[in-house]
Structure 1
Amino acid sequence: MVIFTLSVFFCYVEEAHGVYIRGVEVPVEAQAGKDVSLRCWVNPWPGQLYSLAWWKDGAQFYRSTATTSSVALVSLFPLPGLTLKEGSGGLGHVVLERVRVAATGSYTCEAVADFPSFSQHLVPANLTIVDPPDTGPLIAGYKIRYYPGEVLAASCTILRAHPVPAVSWFINSHQVEEGRQEVVEVNPEVDLTFTTTSKLTLRLKRHHFINDVINLTCGAQVGQRLWTSTTITTHRARPHKHTRPRKHHDLHATTPIPRQRRPQQQRPTEINFEKDEAAIQQPAGEDLSHVVGTGSVQFHYGWVVLVSTLVCAVLWA
C-alpha cells in the first residue's frame, strides 16, 4: 500500500522589523516506517539570528545556535518515539528516521533574534503517522442466506490501525444510508494504534437482492489516503417446499404394496334330508353339527317342513 505524503507550507509576512519565519514544511501525513523531513526557513534580516529550534508537543528536539564563526552549532535532543538526524538542507533541516505512530503530534519551528531585540517567531504544523491495519476488515455475524424482510446484523473489525479509521458499509457497491450504523468499540493498543469495531443493522428489502445475491462490503479509510475493504456474499433464501401426498402409481414406483387377499364368501349350507344310515343312527340329542354338510348326509328343506307339521299336530291334539 502506497501512501502519498502531503506537505503543508506556511508563509508569514511581518510588517514590523524583526525575525520572522518565511515558512515551514511538515507533511500532513506520513506512512509508518518511512523517513520524514522537516524544514524551517527564516527570512534574512539586518540583525543576527540567535537560535533556530524545533519542538514537538512542547519538547525541544532540535536547536541551532549562532556562534562567533560562520558555522552554527546544531544540537539534537532525543525524544521517545523519535530517531533524529541532521538534514543536509541547511539551517533548520532535520530528518525523523523510520517514524512510528509515536511521531504523531504538533511540530513547531521557533526563531529567536539576537541581542538586543531577542524577538521571537513561532510557526506550528501537525504531523499524523498513518499505520495501516494488520489485515483487511473482518466481517462477522452474518448468515449465508436471508429472506426479504429479515434483519441483517453484521460487525466489522479493523485491527490495529492509526489514526482511528472511518468505517463505511456498502451493499452491491452502493453505500448503505438506511438502517443503523454505529461504532461500538474503539480499543487503544500498546503501540498507540486502535482496534475499531462497527456494527450494521438493516432490514433487507427486495431491492437489496440482485440476482438473489447480496454483496456486503465493509470499507475503512485510515487517514486521508489509505482505503481498505472486505466483501462477503450472501444469498436469498428460498421457501421450503411442502411434501405432496404421493399418488397410487407413485407408491408402486417406489415401494411395492403387498396385495391383500379378499375374504372368501361362504356359500350357504345346503341342508338335505336324504336318509342316510349314519344320520338315522345318530343318537337323540347329540350334536349333529359335525355331520351337517359333510359327505353324503344332507338334509332337504321339505323334510324339515314335514317334521315341523307333525310336531304342531301333536301339540294341538
Structure 2
Amino acid sequence: MAGTEASIAFQRRNGNPSRLDNSSQRGASRRQLAVIPPHALLKKGKQSIDMMIRGLGIRLLEVRIPMHTVRDQSARLECYFDMEGESLYSVKWYKDGNEFYRYLPRDMPPAQVFPLPGVSVDIHNSTESTVVLSSVNLSSSGRYRCEVSAEAPSFQTVSQHGDMVVVALPGDGPRITGGRPRYQVGDTVRVNCTSGRSKPAAQLIWFINGEQADSSFIRGPFSKSSRDGLETSTLGLEFKVRPKHFRRNGDMKLKCLATIATVYWRTNEESVEGDRPQKAPALEIRKGHGDMAAAAAAASAASGEYGANRNGGSRMRPTPLWVCCQLLFHILLATYRILVSSIASMHQLPR
C-alpha cells in the first residue's frame, strides 16, 4: 500500500487538486491499482517508482468556457493540456455530469457525439482541444467539464469545469412610465423602469442628472416570469424634488440603465421641466402702455380736444401723422375761404 499512497500523493501534488474532480481522482486510483498493484511496485524497487512518478505529469493548462452566450449563437469550449511525455488516451466533455463528446485519437474517426438535450455539437469544427456548440438555447445552460486521460500504464485523468449561462436578450430597451412633463420644487416623483422580456432578468439602475440615484429613492426590484420562461424586471424611483435636482437650464434628466452581464447594455432617458411661476415680460408691459396712449389719442382726436386730457393733465406728444392731418386741414380750410371770398366779390361787380 506504500506504493499506492506515493502514487496518489504525487498525483495530488502535480495534478493541481483544486482543479481535479473527486470522481476523477478515485477513477485514476482504481486504474493505477489495476495496472500496477502495490506489491509489484515494491518488488520493482525505487527505480520503478521513480519511472511511475515521471509518468504522472499530465497537466491541464487552461479550460475556457464562456460565462454568458447569447441564444441562437455558437459557443466555443476549449481545453488545453500538457501530456508531459504521456500518450493521450481520450478527451471527454460532460454537461451536468452527462457525456456528450468524446475524442479518441486512435479511433477512426476520432470524434464521437452523444445526444443530449440542449447540446448540438458542430463535429466538423471540433477537435481534441476544442468543442463548438451551434445554436445554443436556454436549455444549453449548465456546468461543462473537460476530462483528459492518459494511456497505460498510468491512465491518469484530470478534469476542470466551468458554468455557462445562455442569455435571451430583450426585444426592446427599458421603458419609463409614470412621469409628468413638469415638476415643481416640493413635488414627489414616482416613476417605474421596466425591462423587456429576457432570460435572465435584466439588472436595472436609476440615474438622476447623470448620477446614480440614492438607494433610499429605489423601490424594488420586482420580477415577473412568463410561460415561455422569460422574465421582466421593474425598478421604481420615488423622491421629493429639491432645487438641486434642477440643472442650470431648469430641467431634470431621469435615466434608466438595463444590463445583462457583459452581453447587453441599453438605456432610456427622459427630460422633465421645472414648473416655475411665470412673470409678464417687460416688452409686453411697454406694449400695453403704447396701446393705452393710442386709445387716448384716438379719443382726443374724436372729441377735438387733442393737446390736453379731460382732467386737465399734461399735454401728450402729437404723432407725425396727426401733424400732417392738421396741416392738410388748415390748407383746405384756407383754400375754401379764398374761394368763398372770390365768389362773393364777383357778385358785387356792376353789370
Match of 2:99 among 54, 57, 60: 60
Q: Which residue of 2 aligns with 1:118?
A: 155
2:124 matches 1:91: no
User: What amino acid is the match of 1:100?
Assistant: N
Structure 1 residues 19 and 193, CA gap change in structure 2 (3 angstroms): farther
Deviation for aligned residue 1:150: 1.5
Deviation for aligned residue 1:188: 3.1
2:183 matches 1:146: yes
8 A Cα contact 2:83 2:150, kept in partner = no
Secondary structure of the corresponding residue to residue 136 of structure 1: coil
Secondary structure of the corresponding residue to residue 262 of structure 2: coil
Deviation for aligned residue 1:161: 2.2
Deviation for aligned residue 1:72: 5.6
User: What amino acid is the match of 2:179?
Assistant: Y
8 A Cα contact 1:29 1:130, kept in partner = yes
Distance 2:83 2:109 in 1: 15
Structure 1 residues 118 and 192, CA gap change in structure 2 (3 angstroms): farther
User: Which structure has the highest strand share of the two?
Assistant: 1
Deviation for aligned residue 1:189: 3.7
Note the 1:285-300 alignment, pairs <5 A: none
Distance 1:107 1:195 in 2: 28
2:272 matches 1:219: no
Q: Which residue of 1 aligns with 2:69?
A: 30
Q: Which structure has the bigger radius of gyration? A: 1
2:138 matches 1:101: yes
Deviation for aligned residue 1:45: 4.2
Distance 1:235 1:40 in 2: 57
Match of 2:196 among 159, 162, 174: 159
8 A Cα contact 2:14 2:57, kept in partner = no
Q: Which residue of 2 aligns with 1:236?
A: 274
User: What amino acid is the match of 2:183?
Assistant: Y
8 A Cα contact 2:68 2:167, kept in partner = yes
Percent identity of equivalent pairs: 28
Distance 2:126 2:252 in 1: 55
User: What amino acid is the match of 1:36?
Assistant: A
User: What amino acid is the match of 1:33?
Assistant: D
1:244-269 Cα deviation digits (max 9, x unpaired)? xxxxxx9xx9xxxxxxxxxxxxxxxx
1:51-103 Cα deviation digits (max 9, x unpaired)? 21111222221112354x5x463221232223221253531422111222332
Deviation for aligned residue 1:173: 1.9
Deviation for aligned residue 1:185: 1.6
Deviation for aligned residue 1:112: 2.4
1:193-247 Cα deviation digits (max 9, x unpaired)? 3211111111111111122322211111111252101112222224599xxxxxx
TM-score by length of structure 2 reads 0.58
Distance 1:72 1:107 in 2: 23
Distance 1:112 1:191 in 2: 40
8 A Cα contact 2:58 2:81, kept in partner = yes
TM-score by length of structure 1 reads 0.64
User: Which structure has the highest helix share of the two?
Assistant: 2
Deviation for aligned residue 1:184: 3.3
8 A Cα contact 1:20 1:120, kept in partner = no
Q: Which residue of 1 aligns with 2:169?
A: 132
How many residues are paired up?
Answer: 230
Distance 2:234 2:96 in 1: 30
Structure 1 residues 19 and 197, CA gap change in structure 2 (3 angstroms): same
Q: Which residue of 2 aligns with 1:49?
A: 88
Structure 1 residues 79 and 186, CA gap change in structure 2 (3 angstroms): farther
1:162-199 Cα deviation digits (max 9, x unpaired)? 33322111122222125421333222344443211111
- In structure 1, runs of 5+ residues without a counterpart are 1-11, 242-249, 254-317
User: What amino acid is the match of 1:224?
Assistant: T
- In structure 2, runs of 5+ residues without a counterpart are 1-12, 17-52, 280-291, 296-351
